[in-house]
Chains A and B, each alone.
Chain A
Amino acid sequence: MVSQVSTHAGYLDDILARHHHRTNQLLQVLIEAQAHYGYIHTSAIDYLSLQLQLPRAQIEGVASFYSFLYLQPHGDYRVLFSDNITDRMLGNMDLMLSLCKQLWVEPGKISEDGLLFVSTTSCTGMCDQGPALLINNIAINQLTGERINEICVLIRERVPLLEWPAEYFEIADNIRRSDILLGSNFQSGRSLTALLQRGTAETLQQIKVSRLRGRGGAGFSTGMKWELCQAATGREHFVVCNADEGEPGTFKDRVLLNRYADMVFEGMTLCARIIGAKRGFLYLRGEYRYLLEPLLSVLQGRREKNLLGTSILGNNDFNFDIEIHLGAGAYVCGEESALIESLEGHRGTPRNRPPFPVTHGYLNQPTVVNNVETFAATCLIAQNGGAWYAGIGTDTSSGSKILSVSGDCERPGLYEYPFGVTVAQVLSDCGAKDTQAVQISGPSGVCIAAGEFQRRIAFDDIPTAGAFMVFDQSRDMFEVARNFVHFFAHESCGFCTPCRVGTSLLSNMMDKLSQGHGSACDLVEIEKLNLLLQSTSHCGLGHSACNPVLDTIAKFKPAYDIRLTHKEFTPAFDLDSALSQARQMTGRDDAGAHLRECE
């Protein structure tokens, strides 16, 4: 027992020291503890409890909330296949089964020799280069049968990840169309210089004149948010950049942080000057762990140029620095109040609102939370003025929007357009053919059918955080909706009854239809459940969890109708699947091992 504790004290002392024994750093400490030991040992929790003066139940409660943290051994290699619909369309399930078969492991279980764990995970933000997986939280894309065979050999021979072929870990930016933001020739410090010349009040005025709205999807006025936060009283003000890009089908922030990080950090620094913040955070989703070191070196570069740190650009009243916090596999943390909870080292449960973060955010202090793309856009406004920015786009939606295009098209990747572009234009540019539908802004957004492709990307028509998934005529829109429903059930935080239970009930009902046991009354039930989710859920996740199903029922009813094989009520109990365990135990799968249904 004593040796158990000392085993964990050894590495935990270093981690705790790096985080100054701050309880707010709990999630970061747990992530690093797992990276070192492979999982979070119960003695490690005891030790952390002692050192951080936190109840062990609270630590266990936090650790068990995040998908990427494990409280039991999970093997030396933890392989998680990205399971967005776009990965499915590219054949991720066959690849996963092939890997499982070759390495003698079942999905969702640890191999008997403790070597590896294989399962699925929510969209990893690589839809333009899928199918994708994460191995020990590092991304590998463009999987093929051949690459899976190679990976099996590497795992079987226990080759350390660092010695795997470097090309496995290459990630392309795939910028297909640039406009004012992606095409800007950004030079570090120019926006800050413009701010200092113009003054904070006038710069804030320019942001307001620009009519910039948040790029995370909700579209709140950025100028108004900054002004409200500036006016709010508190001990300290904070700037938070939401890089928890979890919406399936979105990957623009990945590219922005890979190639335009300097601009994003400069936008955060502009905000800090305006609202009077000394500290900022970038909350980076765990799936983008590979970006951490490059981002840290960009921050260091900015400090060396005196664009970050103390007395920025020689102004002794301008002090601001940025820390990067990692997420650990929780989509709900993209909701700003859940993100703040997570930053504080808690479970990522959305808060009761009001009060809103602008007055009561991080540590209950005034906090601006903006999207990665929003911060980058503020640099353009600081440099070129609000009127210039407002002149681009449409009346309700100024400026440009970066779309993450994936699915059935020839050229998936990033496309930046002035707001107001039609869906048809994007489809033509990305080389989409025979398009049946486009899911815009991810599962929580809208599904657009042919006939609506003249609609525009804009806040008053189709608002979007950026996802643009294309489905051609060969795709089954019921299966698309079912994939999204499973996503929401997996990502529900579990706080409120309707979302916690409702999303799981909904997945079960969609599975029942998929297995051919559906009847007309199931469809009525599904619609009723969706309305309940919409009207009583605690946060946006629950409110929008019904969108994919309601949209596809409205627009692709035949995809549901063919599954309603029974006119009358059909019990969900399935005689044949009840025998599946017996089939597995006997290794049989012939006709005689199946029960034909009684007609």
Chain B
Amino acid sequence: MNNPTFTLDGKTIPFTEGQTIIQAAIAASVYIPHLCFNPEFKAHGSCKLCTVKANGRKTASCTAQPQPDMIVESNIQELNDERRALLQMLFVEGNHFCPSCEMSGQCQLQATAYELNMMSPHFDHFFPDRPLDASHPEYLLDFNRCILCSLCVQASRDVDGKNVFALAGRGINSHLIVNASQLAETGFSGDDKAAHVCPVGVILKKRVGFVVPVGQRKYDLLPISALAKGD
């Protein structure tokens, strides 16, 4: 029996029961911009970059399920304009200095901004004060880049069984915390799944910065849209 299908920007996409729009799109190698979504984890639904129009109604494609013959629009100017504005919000909310950042070229936030032709931050910067946590011998936490995607929270809780990370605060004061006064006291390890899921550059391995020269990094070679999963 054939799977039901929906159309995404005119392309026919098959899907199975329970799949979300973005899961079906990735399975068909079609890229929908996203940041907090990672195919290995339950959708968080917070960044809203993956918003599409499903039968004319806007919805986050990481949580919405397709219906047979649904018309889904994603790569259209209206949505890309909104996505660019959401990216600009994320850039001004934290402290992102791409030119000096060791994640430059391997950061999904930066790569998505290139993809969507973001030329400036547009909004006024918030310049939040977010001290680093360099307590751990192997890893450094630079909260300045956090986009509150919760992937490290999920990975540490659900895969590592450690609960190293959690979100705290509310509204514009939301921030990431660790399960002790500092990372070194948490039992966090480089073998943890949580050490390898950050889509930006909060969780950094020490002493390997700039090992891969700028210009030869993941998104220097291929735009993020060439990788349906984004990663």
Given the known interface contacts A352-B63, A494-B170, A494-B172, the answer about A55 and B82 at a Cβ–Cβ threshold of 8 Å is: no
| CA A55 to CA B147, docked complex, whole Å | 22
Given the known interface contacts A492-B171, A500-B174, A504-B171, the answer about A55 and B63 at a Cβ–Cβ threshold of 8 Å is: no
Residue among B90, B171, B173 with the most chain A CB within 10 A? B171
Distance in angstroms from B27 CB to nearest chain A CB is 21
Binds B, one of A197-205, A425-433, A449-457, A532-540: A532-540
Residues of B within 8 A of A501 (CB): 89-90, 92-93, 172
Residues of B within 8 A of A56 (CB): 179-180
> B47 near A: Cβ within 8 Å?
yes
Residue among B45, B164, B167, B170 with the most chain A CB within 10 A? B170
> A330 near B: Cβ within 8 Å?
yes
Q: Which of B150-187 contact A (CB under 8 A)?
A: 163-174, 177-180
Q: Considering only CB atoms, which chain B residue lies closest to A542 in the complex?
A: B48
In the complex, the answer to whether B170 meets A65 with C-beta atoms within 8 Å is: yes
| CA A557 to CA B179, docked complex, whole Å | 50
In the complex, the answer to whether A500 meets B172 with C-beta atoms within 8 Å is: yes
A58 CB contact (under 8 Å) in B123, B124, B163, B172: B163
Q: Considering only CB atoms, which chain B residue lies closest to A493 in the complex?
A: B170
Residues of A within 8 A of B148 (CB): 494, 500
In the complex, the answer to whether B46 meets A58 with C-beta atoms within 8 Å is: no
| CA A500 to CA B46, docked complex, whole Å | 10
In the complex, the answer to whether A60 meets B168 with C-beta atoms within 8 Å is: yes
A497 CB contact (under 8 Å) in B46, B167, B170: B46
Residues of B within 8 A of A495 (CB): 46, 174
A-contact 0/1 string along B71-103, CB 8 Å cutoff: 000000000001001100110110000000000
Q: Considering only CB atoms, which chain A residue lies closest to B126 in the complex?
A: A504
In the complex, the answer to whether A528 meets B85 with C-beta atoms within 8 Å is: yes
How many residues of chain B are within 8 Å of chain A by beta carbon? 38
> A503 near B: Cβ within 8 Å?
yes
In the complex, the answer to whether A64 meets B86 with C-beta atoms within 8 Å is: no
In the complex, the answer to whether B48 meets A538 with C-beta atoms within 8 Å is: yes
> A467 near B: Cβ within 8 Å?
no
> A285 near B: Cβ within 8 Å?
no
> B51 near A: Cβ within 8 Å?
yes
Residues of A within 8 A of B166 (CB): 55, 57-58, 60-61
Q: Considering only CB atoms, which chain A residue lies closest to B166 in the complex?
A: A57
B86 CB contact (under 8 Å) in A58, A352, A497: A497
In the complex, the answer to whether A64 meets B169 with C-beta atoms within 8 Å is: yes
Q: Which of A3-42 contact B (CB under 8 A)?
A: none
Tell me the interface secondary structure of chain A in the complex: helix
> B134 near A: Cβ within 8 Å?
no
Given the known interface contacts A56-B180, A57-B165, A57-B166, the answer about A497 and B171 at a Cβ–Cβ threshold of 8 Å is: no
| CA A14 to CA B146, docked complex, whole Å | 39
> A505 near B: Cβ within 8 Å?
yes
Residues of B within 8 A of A536 (CB): 48, 51, 58, 82, 86
> B26 near A: Cβ within 8 Å?
no
| CA A496 to CA B51, docked complex, whole Å | 12
A492 CB contact (under 8 Å) in B90, B126, B164, B170: B170
In the complex, the answer to whether A60 meets B177 with C-beta atoms within 8 Å is: yes
In the complex, the answer to whether A494 meets B165 with C-beta atoms within 8 Å is: no
| CA A352 to CA B174, docked complex, whole Å | 19
Residues of B within 8 A of A490 (CB): 171
In the complex, the answer to whether A57 meets B179 with C-beta atoms within 8 Å is: yes
| CA A57 to CA B165, docked complex, whole Å | 7
Given the known interface contacts A501-B92, A501-B93, A508-B124, the answer about A494 and B180 at a Cβ–Cβ threshold of 8 Å is: no
Given the known interface contacts A501-B89, A532-B85, A536-B86, the answer about A55 and B179 at a Cβ–Cβ threshold of 8 Å is: yes
Distance in angstroms from B78 CB to nearest chain A CB is 9
Residues of A within 8 A of B118 (CB): none
Q: Considering only CB atoms, which chain B residue lies closest to A49 in the complex?
A: B179
Residues of A within 8 A of B170 (CB): 64-67, 330, 347, 492-494
> B116 near A: Cβ within 8 Å?
no
- 19 more A-B residue pairs beyond the given contacts A61-B166, A498-B89, with a C-beta to C-beta distance below 8 A: A56-B180, A57-B180, A61-B168, A64-B168, A67-B170, A330-B170, A352-B43, A352-B63, A493-B170, A494-B169, A494-B171, A497-B86, A503-B171, A503-B172, A504-B171, A505-B89, A505-B124, A538-B45, A572-B124
A residues neighboring B (CB under 8 Å): 55-58, 60-61, 64-67, 330, 347, 352, 489-498, 500-505, 508, 528-529, 532, 535-538, 572
20 A-B Cβ contacts within 8 A? A56-B180, A57-B164, A57-B168, A60-B166, A61-B177, A64-B170, A489-B172, A492-B172, A493-B170, A493-B171, A494-B148, A494-B170, A494-B174, A501-B93, A504-B126, A528-B85, A532-B82, A532-B86, A536-B48, A538-B45
